């Protein structure tokens, strides 16, 4: 292991072969993101034109939606291909993909994390059910996200009479990871970080491929200062270490013991405002689907409101909370810090967490609902010809026994209010979310039926259930007209038997009207 400064690192990067594959670890909000090292990549390319024509691979999205993270690589000629699990944190790279300036692929975050592990063990790719029936399935898009992406990255095979996807392995020339500190033997610890993510798996994949590992850390410590069980990447996997004393825990502040799981009480963090009308109604209705003692995952957005209700009621001990970044328990944070928990009960690698999900050990998951269709399929990844990526959505939704989707009935300009225990539609939204056919299949309704999953779709004005016969309308908000406010506003005809009225207490008076 060699300690390098920015100048030395830039010299190393300028000497990388054209077309090298770079795998990077990190997540949104600056979580475990080695942005100081990324800055060296960017500076080297601007000064010398190298490294160029890179293949960039990242399981989770990272960046500040402006300059940091994956945005550092979004320069013409610097990157040829990107395989990402989540893209929204990098609008620059998204724009390049939309203009076909790069080959753009999108695969599930768990698939990419576990594929790194398979590459590191020199196994012949990742064989899994995750992605069947979704846009990752080669019978659909095969993970391709623009016209420039033509090469296959996944194939359909049959094992023991069952369809399975094989995600193809690739060589990793450079791994870029991050930790809190490195000792004189090269051991890295992430003990003061909120997660471990896939750092070890990425480093292993690079070394097994004959590549190099670059680690960004906050400080160097003496040999023995890192306890063996605190080592996240052993020194024999590390080639170069960049010391970044200004490294922060996230984009939103200095190091917090609470976010690293190093304190049990004290610091608290803001949650969703209770007076957001639609979010409150959806979260409170979805909360009623919770099963005591269940192992649960909460996704980004409106579904996270269910976890906040549980926290406010003091009921966290009644459930086992998880998120794909490897967190168990604690106070789940939202917004840009989604994927982090304060006072976590356990912090595992994301590869281990995705194993739990893939293995069917998740009782319930609460996920966002951006678009759904009459087959019960859901889209959270493709909009207006632009890919945002699924993150862990596909891995989680396919592995859970019980799936609850949470979202507003429509979008853009909708105005609603409540009075007398009823919901009033003051203005319908301009964008319909219940459509004849979703733009991209992030969750396949037919596959869910085949797997025997129970699936519920919760909106503020109606609740739907997926069954063998299709999507059924099971509940209607009080004050809502079935024909005018629901059927005339969706792109398919649901099954209608005897829909119940949603509980009036969900529609208690609230002062503020919310668009």
Of 413, 410, 406, 384, the residue nearest 486 (C-alpha): 410
Q: In which order are the strands placed within the sheet that holds 103-106?
A: 2-4, 240-243, 212-217, 174-178, 21-24, 54-58, 79-84, 103-106
Q: How many CB atoms lie within 10 A of CB 33?
A: 30
What Rg do the C-alpha atoms of the chain give, in angstroms? 23
In 3D space, the residue among 174, 172, 170 whose CA is nearest the CA of residue 16 turns out to be 174
Catalytic residue among 42, 284, 324, 475: 324
Q: 295-298 and 320-323: which strand pairing?
A: parallel
Q: Which residues of 236-249 are buried (b: 16+ CB within 10 A; e: fewer)?
A: ebbbbbbbbeebeb
Cβ atoms 4, 242 nearer than 8 A:
yes
In a 13 Å sphere around the CA of 363, the CA atoms on its Cβ side amount to 12
Strand 431-432 with 410-411, pairing: antiparallel
Strands 21-24 and 174-178: parallel
Q: Tell the residue number behind the tokens 């399975």, with chain if given.
A: 164
Q: How is 66-122 classified by DSSP, letter by letter?
A: SSSGGGGG-STTTEEEEEES--TT-HHHHHHHHTTSSEEEE--HHHHHHHHHHHHTT
Helix/strand/coil for 286: helix
Contact call for residues 189 and 43 (beta carbons, < 8 A): no
First to last CA, the chain: 55
State the CB neighbour count (10 A cutoff) for residue 266.
10
- 460 part of the active site: no
Residues 105, 110, 112, 118: is their CA dihedral positive or negative?
negative
Give 313-368 as a 3 state SS string.
CCCHHHCEEEECCCEECCEECCHHHCCCEECCCEECCHHHHHHHHHCCCEEEEEEE
Q: Which of 213, 80, 219, 251 is nearest to 150 (CA)?
A: 80
- Which has the closest alpha carbon to 225: 196, 183, 188? 183
Where in the sequence numbering do the catalytic residues fall? 324
């Amino acid at each position: 292991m060699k300690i390098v400064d920015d100048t030395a690192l830039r010299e190393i990067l300028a000497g990388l072969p054209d077309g090298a594959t770079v795998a990077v670890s990190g997540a949104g909000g600056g979580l475990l993101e080695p942005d100081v090292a990324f800055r060296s990549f960017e500076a080297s390319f601007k000064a010398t034109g190298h490294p160029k024509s890179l293949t960039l691979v990242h399981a989770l999205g990272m960046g500040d939606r402006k300059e940091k993270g994956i945005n550092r690589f979004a320069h013409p000629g610097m990157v040829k291909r990107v395989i990402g699990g989540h893209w929204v944190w990098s609008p620059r790279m998204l724009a390049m993909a939309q203009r076909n300036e790069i080959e753009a692929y999108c695969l599930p975050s768990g698939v990419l994390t576990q594929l790194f592990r398979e590459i590191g063990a020199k196994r012949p790719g990742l064989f899994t059910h995750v992605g069947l029936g979704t846009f990752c399935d080669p019978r659909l898009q095969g993970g391709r996200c623009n016209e420039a992406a033509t090469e296959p990255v996944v194939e359909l095979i049959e094992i023991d009479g069952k369809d399975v996807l094989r995600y193809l392995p690739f060589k990793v020339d450079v791994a870029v990871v991050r930790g809190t500190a490195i000792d004189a033997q090269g051991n890295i610890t992430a003990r003061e970080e909120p997660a471990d993510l896939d750092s070890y798996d990425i480093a292993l994949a690079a070394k097994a491929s004959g590549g190099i590992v670059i680690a960004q850390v906050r400080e160097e410590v003496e040999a023995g200062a890192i306890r063996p069980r605190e080592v996240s990447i052993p020194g024999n996997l590390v080639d170069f270490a960049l010391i970044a004393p200004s490294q922060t825990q996230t984009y939103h502040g200095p190091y917090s013991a609470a976010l690293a799981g190093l304190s049990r009480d004290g610091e608290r963090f803001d949650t969703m405002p209770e007076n957001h009308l639609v979010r409150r109604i959806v979260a409170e209705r979805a909360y009623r689907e919770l099963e005591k003692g269940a192992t649960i995952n909460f996704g980004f957005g409106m579904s996270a409101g269910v976890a906040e209700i549980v926290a406010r009621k003091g009921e966290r001990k009644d459930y086992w909370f998880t998120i794909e970044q490897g967190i168990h328990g604690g106070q789940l944070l939202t917004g840009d810090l989604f994927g982090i928990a304060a006072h976590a009960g356990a912090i595992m690698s994301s590869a281990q967490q995705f194993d739990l999900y893939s293995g069917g050990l998740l009782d319930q998951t609460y996920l966002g609902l951006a678009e759904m269709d009459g087959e019960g399929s859901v889209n959270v990844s493709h909009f207006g010809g632009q890919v945002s990526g699924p993150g862990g959505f596909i891995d989680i939704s396919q592995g859970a026994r019980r799936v609850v989707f949470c979202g507003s009935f429509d979008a853009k300009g909708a105005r609603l209010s409540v009075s007398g225990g009823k919901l009033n539609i003051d203005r319908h939204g301009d964008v319909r979310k219940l459509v004849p056919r979703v733009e991209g299949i992030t969750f396949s309704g037919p596959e869910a039926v085949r797997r025997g999953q129970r699936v519920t779709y919760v909106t503020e004005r109606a609740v739907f259930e997926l069954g063998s016969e299709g999507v059924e309308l099971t509940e209607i908000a009080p004050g809502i007209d079935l024909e005018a406010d629901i059927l005339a506003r969706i792109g398919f005809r649901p099954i209608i038997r005897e829909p119940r009225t949603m509980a009036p207490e969900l529609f208690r008076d609230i002062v503020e009207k919310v668009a």
